Amino acid sequence: MSPTIRSFDARLIAIPLSRPWGVDVTSVSVVATRVELSDGVVGHGFSWTPTIGGRAVLALLQYDIHDAAIGRDADPAALWPQLWRHLHEAGGGGLTTIALAGLDLALWDAAARRSQRSITDLLGRRHDRLAAYGSGVNLHYSTDELLAQVERWIAAGFDAVKIKVGRPRLADDVERVRQVRRLLGDDRRLMIDANQRWTLDRAVEAMRALDAFDPAWIEEPLVADDLASHAELARRIGTPIAVGENLHTRFRFDDAARAGVGVVQPNVVRVGGITPLLDIAADAADRGLALHPHLLPELSGQVALALPGDHLVEDVEDAAFGTLGALEDPSPVEIDRGTLRSTDHVGLGLRFRGGPR
């Protein structure tokens, strides 16, 4: 008989950033979760909101998800679609899927702990290592600060980096990208991320100028919800379009694929946890799309090690939970010379200081 969910708890934690992502983004919110099953196994997970929504996610977990989950079968793959339908009246994605991740990840952690394996080995390890790329929230940096950051990534052994674009003056973007490309040389990959700042016409204009610097992709050039405009943009530029950090369901990723994007970047928390991420990854593989997970390398890197194909893992400078001192235990992954490996641990290996015991 399968174990059932005996108890579930969640707690909101603010984690200060040592390198602020902007004047008003000096910390990120984590909702740490704990599930106990009827066989006594305990699992730890989390939800994550970098700016707003932490209290709303906490409320969904403490009330709607808690009440619907207690006594249910603890198999995350079977439970997730049931709870998604239960929450759907409050929204098919966004806060609801972010909250669902808090339970889904805790259940996967419990399953891996029961078998005394890491989550990568429970899912079926396919890689011992994956390439990582240096990333930063750096649009507000001066050019000198940006170039110093890129120099740190080069010194750290990264063969690929990503920088922000979308300044009010296109000439500023062009000059910054020009200088970064000169610093990187021709052998390292450069990705650029507009964070939804452009209109369609501005995106076409910008990419006609920036394409000269051979970007591997342009990330979120337009408002993420406007996939029709992404389809038009894909017809008008040569650089691959990457989307995903602000898509929350398998269905929206399917829509993005039909719109002609070349790269999908699911965030394992925003889509609702490991269960839906595995479906999104399978769909991407069937369509021949590149998949590179968004942020959270301590978690997304572990899952990517179990996925077929080659995946780049995003490593935002000075933003890893271990680096920020937010974890009870050593980080479950290590990134060295631009390469991610998992460490020796059981489960997800992610318990947060100040989280439920």
What whole-number distance in Å separates Cα of residue 163 and Cα of residue 135? 6
pLDDT digits (tens, 9 = 90+) for 72-97: 999 999 999 999 999 999 999 999 99
Give the predicted TM-score (pTM) of the model: 0.96
pLDDT digits (tens, 9 = 90+) for 97-137: 999 999 999 999 999 999 999 999 999 999 999 999 999 99
Catalytic residue among 248, 294, 311, 345: 294
Amino acid at 224: A
Structurally, what CATH architecture does the domain formed by 5-116 represent?
2-Layer Sandwich (3.30)
Quick one: CA torsion of 340, 351, 13, 140, rounded to 10 degrees? -10
Residues 150/183, Cβ–Cβ less than 8 Å: yes
| Tokens, residue 322 | 């271990």
CA distances from 220 to 70, 91, 246, 265 (A): 38, 22, 9, 10
pLDDT digits (tens, 9 = 90+) for 15-38: 988 888 777 788 889 999 999 999
Average pLDDT over residues 194-205: 98
Shortest CA distance to 331 belongs to which of 317, 321, 340, 346? 321
Alpha-carbon Rg of the chain, whole angstroms?
A: 20
Catalytic residue among 164, 248, 292, 311: 164
164 noted as active-site residue: yes
| Tokens, residue 191 | 């990705």
Span(s) in the chain for CATH 3.30.390.10:
5-116
**What letter would DSSP give residue 213?**
G
pLDDT confidence bin for 62, thresholds 50/70/90: very high
What whole-number distance in Å separates Cα of residue 246 and Cα of residue 28? 17
What whole-number distance in Å separates Cα of residue 174 and Cα of residue 207? 10
Span(s) in the chain for CATH 3.20.20.120:
121-342
CATH homologous superfamily for the domain 121-342? Enolase-like C-terminal domain (3.20.20.120)
What whole-number distance in Å separates Cα of residue 253 and Cα of residue 287? 11
Per-residue pLDDT, 289: 95
